[in-house]
Amino acid sequence: MLLASLLFATMGVCVKLASAHYSVGEIVFYRGLIGAVMIAGVSRWHGGTLRTRVPAMHFWRSLTGVISLVLWFYAIAHLPLATAITLNYMSSVWMALFLIGGAVMLGSSRVDGKLVGTVLLGFVGVALVLRPTIEHDQLWPGLVGLLSGMLAAMAYLQVTALGRAGENEYRVVFYFSIGGVAAGLLTMLWSGVSSHSASGVLWLAAVGVLATVAQLMMTRAYATGKTLVNASLQYLGIAWAFLYGVLLFDDPVTLMAAGGMVLIVAAGLAATLLRSHAAPADASRNLSES
């Protein structure tokens, strides 16, 4: 998990650098293409199959996940790296909000006060993180990054359903990658294709390889370790991104933004703990696919 968090943050650096050469749609296309090829190879190596009995479930999971990915890459391109990654990590808090909304819709007389507190804490953190962003006229990318985290939470719930249907992680990741290829192709048909350069190709290849390897590492960590410990280590991705942003992109360091990140991490961990107590098997499967 330590390596996975580092690789995801490093992927964010490569996305930011690649965005100087390519559109977000192109980056998503090549990330999906490289991921699909790598996963197909790994699955074949282990003697598995990519055939599925639930194509419709994969379609909806891929649609939600790919839209989230596009929005996240857009936020990375236009925001300080640590800000974009922190907003995407709000997914655990969004999931807590979904649980509260589900309880209200089902007419439950009791709503977990701890979950409510977790959600409020997370959004206080968001307000603090976005405060310096708003001052730099970057409110729209900030909202896009926040939306990417919400859609990521929805995608994780769909992954849980796929796990219950008997789908393994290779098929889930493979069809998600295929969805990225399809979405990237559509955007490239509309906006055109950028010319390649040696540095641009390098950044594209790095995005695809880093994302796929990190995804497999994270899946392995959640399959063999404790959910809460892994979730705690996963949030080190924010720290890595913060260091990268300061060292490579001269991102500003503000006490308010740093405090907001701490609150979001605390809210995310609290949400993970509460969900794991409520349904440990589901939470573990859900996070293992993230």
pLDDT value of residue 96: 79
Q: Picking from 23-32, 35-44, 151-160, 240-249, which range would have the lowest pLDDT averaged per residue?
A: 151-160
pLDDT value of residue 201: 96
Q: What is the mean pLDDT of residues 130-153?
A: 80
pLDDT value of residue 289: 41
Q: Picking from 65-74, 112-121, 124-133, which range would have the lowest pLDDT averaged per residue?
A: 124-133
Q: Give the rounded percent of residues in the chain with a pLDDT score beyond 70.
A: 90
Q: Picking from 31-35, 62-66, 191-195, which range would have the lowest pLDDT averaged per residue?
A: 191-195
Structure token pair of residue 19: 């965005």
Q: Give the rounded percent of residues in the chain with a pLDDT score beyond 90.
A: 42
pLDDT value of residue 132: 61
pLDDT value of residue 130: 77
More confident residue, 134 or 264: 264
Residue 155 in this model has a pLDDT that exceeds 70: yes
Q: What is the mean pLDDT of the chain?
A: 85
Residue 57 in this model has a pLDDT that exceeds 70: yes
pLDDT in tens, 251-261: 887 888 888 88
C-alpha separations of 85 from 52, 78, 166, 205 in Å: 32, 12, 31, 20
pLDDT in tens, 215-239: 888 877 776 777 667 777 888 888 8
pLDDT in tens, 37-55: 999 999 889 888 899 999 9
For helices 81-88 and 55-78, the axis angle rounded to 10 degrees is 150
Residue 92 in this model has a pLDDT that exceeds 50: yes
What total number of domains does the chain contain?
1
CA 227 to centroid of chain Cα atoms: 17
Residue 133 in this model has a pLDDT that exceeds 70: no
Containing structural domain, residue 40: 2-288
Using pLDDT thresholds of 50, 70 and 90, give the confidence band for residue 211.
very high
pLDDT value of residue 210: 96
One-letter amino acid at 26 equals E
